[in-house]
């Protein structure tokens, strides 16, 4: 009996080894098995995690889309910068070549002085703040150990994150008081260049509105002139001559149409009118779109928030409302204080020297530590 039981055991063992060897021969390649295991892990993470909600599912499903957008934005950042420079330069060129001679020939001296002074001031403010916003570092947290307060650890950088610091997937590093990554700057908007970004948006909107309003009548005249030119080109190049005209020899033999003179407009006239239309359409469109963005950022600054913090605070407000509590933004220091801190206004003269004139002064604070909870007194007395 012992011999029979041991023989049966060995037989079963041989059959199992042979089946395992056959399975090993039919195994898929390693890279396919790794992808399959990763997909199974992702699928299980969606329903094994007790904290799973609609945002987690949305982020997981659209993660490839986010990675593609980050990749394209990272590598095409300079293209967006060149586009901003080219479009702005084209408007400035039209203003100098077409509009300035008209202003000098038709407007009164006070209006000429107003247009020349305001136009050049606005242009200087746009160029200065765009250059500073694109070339100023937004601010990065220290990678070495420090004594400053931290609120979490970045899951990608594996370094401590101070308050209001977030990771940028395009720059691939953490940003102090990150607002967003701006492709038109090819740079992140953070603690040290947030004021430059907002000032650029504000003065670019003012410049577009200025061009749109002051060039409205010129746009209407140019559009009507082009329509008139189009009708003249559709007309026949001559006037038919019949009856007595042919008998008295008004035309040479064989010619039946009297040739009209050349049209009273030239190629230069066409280009001038088209340039005015191009300038008005572009500035009006950009003025509306950028004006809406500037207004939204002004609302966020008044509340002491960034674009990312607005999303976080709204979620916290809903979460605490379920518990019957009211959430307050710890970085909201009242509307006036928020603007003074954001603009770096420390005395009354700074409203002119630091707001209405180009200024490269640093922002308030180092971006690592923040005074929390609302206060009633002015943080920066003016």
Question: Rounded distance, CA 26 to CA 15, Å?
Answer: 17
Where would I find the H helices in 136-240?
194-214, 216-234
Quick check: is 239 in a domain? no
Distances (CA, A) of 281 to 10, 213, 228, 233, 324: 88, 11, 20, 25, 51
Q: How much is the pLDDT for 126?
A: 97
Question: Rounded distance, CA 213 to CA 256, Å?
Answer: 51
- Tell me the residue range of the domain where 211 lies: 92-138+191-234+269-356
Quick check: is 351 in a domain? yes
Q: 61-78 as b/e, with b when 16 or more CB fall inside 10 Å?
A: eeeeeeeeebeebeeebe
Q: Is residue 182 flagged as an active site residue? A: yes
Q: Which residues is 187 bridged to in the sheet?
A: 182
Read off the pTM: 0.76
Q: How much is the pLDDT for 48?
A: 63
| Beta-carbon contacts of residue 293 (< 8 Å; ≥ 6 apart) | 201
Quick check: is 82 in a domain? no
User: Max alpha carbon distance in the chain (Å)?
Assistant: 141
Q: How much is the pLDDT for 242?
A: 46
Quick check: is 382 in a domain? no
- Give me the catalytic one of 168, 171, 174, 182: 182
Question: Rounded distance, CA 114 to CA 210, Å?
Answer: 12
Where would I find the H helices in the chain?
2-25, 30-48, 54-61, 63-75, 77-94, 100-106, 109-135, 194-214, 216-234, 244-247, 267-303, 307-322, 335-343, 350
Q: How much is the pLDDT for 46?
A: 65
Quick check: is 303 in a domain? yes
Question: Rounded distance, CA 194 to CA 303, Å?
Answer: 15
What's the number of domains the chain is made of?
1
Distances (CA, A) of 235 to 2, 117, 239, 260: 116, 46, 10, 11
| Beta-carbon contacts of residue 205 (< 8 Å; ≥ 6 apart) | 287, 290, 291, 294
Quick check: is 283 in a domain? yes
Quick check: is 23 in a domain? no
Query: Which residues of the chain fall short of a pLDDT of 50?
Result: 1-5, 8-9, 24, 236, 238-239, 241-252, 255-260, 376
Q: How much is the pLDDT for 249?
A: 46
Quick check: is 203 in a domain? yes
HSE, CB side, 13 Å, CA atoms: give it for residue 61: 6
* Phi, psi (rounded to 5 degrees) for 333: -105, 25
Q: Which residues is 239 bridged to in the sheet?
A: 258
What own/partner pairs with CB < 8 Å and gap ≥ 24 does 294-303 have? 294/198, 294/201, 294/202, 294/205, 297/198, 297/201, 298/198, 301/198, 301/338, 301/339, 301/342, 302/335, 302/338, 302/339, 303/329, 303/332, 303/338
Q: How much is the pLDDT for 381?
A: 53
């Amino acid at each position: 009996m012992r011999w029979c039981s041991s023989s049966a055991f060995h037989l079963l063992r041989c059959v199992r080894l042979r089946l395992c060897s056959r399975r090993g021969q039919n195994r898929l390649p390693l890279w396919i098995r790794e992808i399959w295991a990763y997909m199974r892990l992702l699928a299980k993470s969606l329903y094994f995690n007790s904290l799973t909600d609609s945002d987690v599912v949305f982020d997981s499903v659209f993660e490839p889309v986010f990675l593609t957008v980050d990749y394209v934005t990272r590598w095409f950042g300079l293209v967006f910068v060149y586009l901003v420079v080219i479009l702005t330069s084209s408007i400035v060129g039209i203003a100098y070549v077409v509009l300035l001679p008209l202003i000098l020939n038709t407007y009164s001296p006070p209006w000429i002085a107003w247009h020349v002074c305001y136009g050049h001031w606005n242009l200087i403010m746009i160029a200065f703040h765009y250059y500073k916003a694109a070339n100023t570092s937004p601010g990065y947290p220290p990678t070495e150990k420090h004594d400053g307060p931290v609120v979490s650890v970045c899951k990608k950088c594996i370094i401590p994150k101070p308050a209001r610091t977030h990771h940028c997937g395009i720059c691939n590093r953490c940003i102090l008081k990150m607002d967003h990554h701006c492709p038109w700057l090819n740079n992140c908007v953070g603690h040290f260049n947030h004021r430059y970004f907002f000032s650029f948006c504000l003065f670019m909107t003012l410049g577009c509105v200025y061009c749109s309003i002051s060039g409205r009548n010129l746009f209407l005249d140019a559009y009507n002139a082009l329509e008139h030119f189009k009708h003249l080109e559709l007309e026949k190049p001559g006037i038919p001559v019949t009856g007595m005209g042919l008998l008295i020899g008004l035309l040479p033999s064989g010619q039946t149409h009297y040739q009209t003179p050349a049209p009273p407009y030239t190629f230069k006239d066409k280009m001038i009118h088209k340039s005015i239309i191009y300038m008005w359409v572009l500035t009006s469109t950009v003025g509306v779109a950028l004006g809406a963005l500037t207004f939204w950022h002004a609302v966020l600054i008044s509340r002491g928030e960034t674009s990312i913090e607005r999303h976080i605070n709204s979620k916290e407000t809903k979460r605490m409302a379920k518990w019957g509590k009211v959430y307050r933004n710890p970085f909201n220091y009242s509307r006036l204080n928020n603007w003074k801190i954001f603009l770096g206004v420390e005395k009354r003269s700074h409203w002119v020297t630091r707001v209405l004139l180009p200024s490269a002064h640093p922002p308030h604070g180092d971006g690592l530590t923040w005074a929390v909870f609302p206060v009633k007194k002015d943080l920066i007395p003016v």
